Amino acid sequence: MHLAHFDIARFLATAWQKQPLLIRNPWGAWHNPLDPDELAGLACETGVESRLIVRGAGGPVLEHGPLPEDRFASLGADPWTLLVQAVDQQVPQVADLIAPFRFVPDWRIDDVMISYATDGAGVGPHFDQYDVFLIQGLGRRRWRVGPRCDAATPRQQHADLALIADFAATGDWVLEPGDILYVPPGFAHDGVALGDDCMTYSIGFRAPSRAELVEGWGAHVADQLEAAPDHEADRYADPDLVLQDHPGEITPAALDRLHAMTLEALGDRAAFARWFGQMNTQAKYADTDWRPETAADPADVAALLAQGVALRRNPAHRLAYIREGAGTLLFADGQAWPCADVALAQALCGGALVLLDPGLAGAPGTAALVTALIDQGTLAFDDGEEEDDDSDWAD
């Protein structure tokens, strides 16, 4: 599966995080990967994040899932939209949609949200703080795109939805099945279904804020310092204290020392890299539990790898790796694992289905690492029931 008519280099140079872009059907062949009834079924399941927005005379009303099974039958003639998050973790064919967009690093990928809308329905004009590719899967949707927004942009008075008050469109397109609209962070956009059975697949890309990084890294460093045996003795010291003109002043020399203490604790780049890899790969939705009832036997794992049996990745688990000097650290579901060969880390992070070549499969440490990942629920040997990454619903 790939984008047959799409210039990635040109897109990154001219559009990525710069301006919205309409991409008319770039697929070799497009087929909608999920039936609307299946999406509605997911919205009724516990552990699946879903929202229903009904637009009545009094304005939009938001409901959070899981929805009762009879809720859709009770909806009247008012336009309504169903939003279901992380469908890629539930449906392999939807997960396959991510592969063509992996020119953006994996650690930036969030999930695939699907929206279903009846005629005239939509969320309303809004903006997000992340990049998104909006793929029209079924039916038609009119998208209007406006200027870049920020915290000062006026909002409508609504308790649940952050909608733009005065939306002025600068672009206006109707998307047909297979068409894609890319919207960078901050740009206003509003999509309205033209007819019933309108489905849109939103591939979102996350970006941590400075505040989130400082808060998370700072809290981690503080925890590590508190856990150190000598943390009580690790305090400010001023053995060269001299008499100052006024006791109420915090002198520049004292501030320099305090600032240096703080920056020294936060400035360990290798520790930051390890923390970020663990934080970034933590599962957002942890309901897909692949942990075996009994621990895997490393000898059995080694034998299966030697036979060329493929591994399948848990769709709820994130994987990434960093190079650390001459070695490599593999991150999986918030845990860090030393990996002797970067090629092994690359293979494990390569896709939903992992087939190790004989050299990697038999290398020292491979069976032990794969065993640990199986016990953690990140990997499982493929039983052949799932379709592979080359499923034929889209080329």
Question: pLDDT tens-digit profile of 376-387?
Answer: 999 999 987 654
Closest CA to 43 of 10, 75, 11: 75
Q: Would you say residue 201 has pLDDT above 60?
A: yes
Mean pLDDT to the nearest integer, 315-329: 92
Q: Tell me, what amino acid is at 256?
A: D
Confidence of residue 5 (pLDDT cuts 50, 70, 90): confident
**pLDDT the model gives residue 76:** 87
pLDDT, residue 19, reads 97
The one-letter amino acid at 43 = A
Report the b/e string of 239-256 with b at 16+ CB within 10 A.
eeeeeeeeeeeeeeeeee
Instruction: Give tens-digit pLDDT for 30-52.
Output: 999 999 999 999 999 998 999 99
Q: Taking residues 100-125, what's their average pLDDT?
A: 96
**How many residues are given for the chain?**
395
User: If you write DSSP's letter for every residue of 16-67 in order, what string do you get?
Assistant: TTT--EEE---BSS----S-HHHHHHHHTSTT--EEEEEEETTEEEEEESSP
Q: Report the run of H or E that residue 147 belongs to, with start and end.
A: strand 131-148
What is the per-residue pLDDT across 203-242, written as a single tens digit (0 to 9) for each? 999 999 999 999 999 999 999 999 999 989 999 999 999 9
| pLDDT tens digits, one per residue of 237-287 | 999 999 999 999 999 999 999 999 999 999 999 999 999 999 999 988 766
Place of tokens 């309901």: 287
